[in-house]
A = this chain, B = another copy of it.
């Protein structure tokens, strides 16, 4: 059963944490919407090489109509965590018990959306202290599922993260 997935993007998004996951979801037959802070905005990847255009602004996405929100890392989370529409989307989808995927710095968005407390969590070592201060339990593992959150650690863990995303969305 294909799922409706919102993938978040922003300036300096991590190239492979977006594109590998995006294409993996398409391979599964899921419908993926590319969601940024504003419809039509173009964002350059962290490496500087890969552009992506937001098909939708976060304000245009109805949380009731998506099955999952996936958040890549890079420096985009530092920007998009300031956007109330982004945070509202993540929070609402989480509260409905639907799947949230976060890898690397994506946990910054999870912190600001107030959804990480009480969860096992991983990501870039650069946000370890912030996750702990937000009430999460830091775990140094490649990828795992905790409740309705799928966590991935860093770029090299994308294959393990994808495997769990595919599995989780199949069971949803």
CA of A159 to CA of B32 in the docked complex: distance in angstroms? 13
Chain A interface residues (CB < 8 Å from chain B): 15-16, 19-20, 23-24, 26-27, 45, 47-50, 158-160, 162-163
Which 8 pairs across A and B sit closest by C-beta, in order of nearness? A49-B49, A47-B49, A27-B159, A26-B159, A48-B49, A20-B23, A23-B159, A20-B20
Can you list 5 A-B pairs, Cβ within 8 angstroms, ordered by A? A16-B23, A23-B159, A47-B47, A47-B49, A49-B50
CA of A45 to CA of B45 in the docked complex: distance in angstroms? 13
Identity of the chain B residue whose Cβ is nearest the Cβ of A48 in the assembled complex:
B49
CA of A19 to CA of B19 in the docked complex: distance in angstroms? 9
CA of A162 to CA of B47 in the docked complex: distance in angstroms? 24
